[in-house]
A and B are shown apart, each in its own frame.
Chain A
């Protein structure tokens, strides 16, 4: 460790009473990331609320299709891709970049240089998403899943990304200390993979378009890798930081972490084609992806074991710490999501689940139960350090957690069971096709209930976040605990 004497201290931003140099240094680093990270979070929150309202709309319209169907931009077929893209590019990517930049500054132990350039990048990113959304609503969707934004919106997103990430990488250049922590591997990987992935998909679909069914292969290769290598990698990196940090204990094993990281990079990047099972493709492509999906059990087991052994004996802390509760929920969901992914990729189950709502369940388990919950956890940790206030109401955090957990649980259950019914009926030729659609309708209605729960959860969180943003949090030196801590001396703060 660098001797404390080396730290160039100019105008400490916390009171000198806070104590030792390391804390002052951290406060200085946090202060340098304050504006861009809060902007990322604020933008992401706005997109989350828009995406949530759209989700409710889309879910409701699926069983009541004639609602507003006379207005072209309010039809189900246009709102669904808007919901999807707002969530992926507006909410998920922005919150991921916010958290990643904060983590990068902390772990490189260096201040964020030129935050204004990142701020410009954030504006560009928001503009790109707005352009894309308007494009889809006006009927210029490209028709490729996860890539519905018209190509000109992608250009704006790309410029924004270059502005944002080059400065995150610059931080890495000015890092102090030799050790590169596990979280940094995941973040660097995501920073490197995303532009390659996005550029390759855009080039192969719009610049020099590939022929026929190869478009679908490129599309699913992109979608799966966006989920695993961009959003998933940042979420796993965040979990590797938050869990040891909150319980104050080092990660159980670096070796396990190394195995988990490289097998994750190798195997999950080869998945995707299983979504095209039985389609017009050479069988080896689909089989390779199914094999890779099965092999993802290795990173799942090693990462899961590592987190579990780190948490061993500290599980009761989840009773108190909001960050830990959300993060551990997300980390556990990573295991569940991957196991479900393996089960539905097998040819013998895929024949019942292909072309059903089960694929929607799978996407939501990855994007919500795993990724989004970890991001919520990181926001509960990071925001107080940026605004200098603590979360105001423990009750609201608890409500947020339970509404989210029950919401995503109900949604996954409804869509998986509904998908199984739908698929079994589709393969039964004694039933007409429309009967297979009718059999999934009750489950789709159940999903609308789940969407309502998630809407409640997100509005509660947005309100709480708004309080923090406008300086209405608690002034305290003790973080907000979910339940009163029976330890000596902290009770009076709650």
Chain B
């Protein structure tokens, strides 16, 4: 090969082609999706997840759950994902999913944990399989793990409660709001919970902003116990 300039232009060009083609252009296409709403602008999907869900995601990433579990459902023409029924959990076994996954499902996920292998079942909709799961502390072992599963046991200490989650609605009434907030402040100041005063938004989190048209809006309150309480 003669000449360095063509070589370097070629090396630069081929790689720029790949970079633009596989990351920059797709990012224009699906990199800025917004939650979808119905005509009245309500019933948004998806909504930002609670602080507890974020913590669960961090634990999921840090402990390598992603190497055995996927969080994506393939279409029915290429797989049995939609027809598959969960092995464990309430009876009759809930289905893995109703439809294939779409990019919009993941817009609030960071890191996104799509997964690449299934030594364990897909967990994209695990919350639906066990509706009470969300209220359980993140570190407790999942109740619906198959007995012969290769997933390691989660610690010898046994299940424990490490916090509580309160959910409800604020009423659009200044007096009532004042009462609710006061109640929360008392809870947060109690000696039983760990509250980081620098990040109050992680404790009290409203899912939508109130406006004059609405009479109420939902909130979530996450309180971590200073000392986990063992389950009997």
Contacts and interface: CB of A to CB of B under 8 A. Distances in A.
A433 B101 contact: no
B110 interface: yes
A214 B27 contact: yes
A474 B67 CA distance: 46
Interface stretch (A58-66, A88-96, A112-120, A316-324): A58-66
A62 B119 contact: yes
Contacts of A440: 119
A91 B191 CA distance: 50
Interface of A: 61-63, 65-66, 69-70, 72, 75-78, 80-81, 139-145, 178, 180, 185, 188-189, 192-193, 196-197, 200, 204-205, 209-218, 221, 225, 229, 258, 262, 265-266, 269-270, 272-273, 275-282, 285, 288-289, 347, 350-351, 354-357, 359-360, 422, 426-429, 432-434, 436-438, 440-441
A217 B11 contact: no
Contact of B7 (A81, A185, A218): A185
Contacts of A359: 116-117
A66 B152 CA distance: 5
B96 to A, nearest CB: 9
A180 B7 contact: yes
Contacts of B149: 434, 437
Contact of B14 (A213, A265, A279): A265
B1 A185 contact: yes
A221 B25 CA distance: 13
Nearest to B149: A434
A265 B10 contact: yes
B231 interface: no
A216 B23 contact: no
B41 interface: no
Interface stretch (B28-36, B125-133, B170-178): B28-36
Contacts of A200: 19, 23
A141 B61 contact: yes
B111 A142 contact: yes
A193 B18 CA distance: 11
Contacts of A217: 22-23, 26
Contacts of B26: 214, 217, 281-282, 285
B209 interface: no
Contacts of B103: 212-213, 280-281
Given A217-B26, A266-B17, A437-B120, A212 B112 contact: yes
| 8 closest residue pairs by CB, A with B | A77-B64, A143-B61, A269-B18, A212-B106, A69-B152, A278-B74, A143-B111, A139-B62
Given A212-B107, A213-B106, A80 B117 contact: no
A63 B149 CA distance: 10
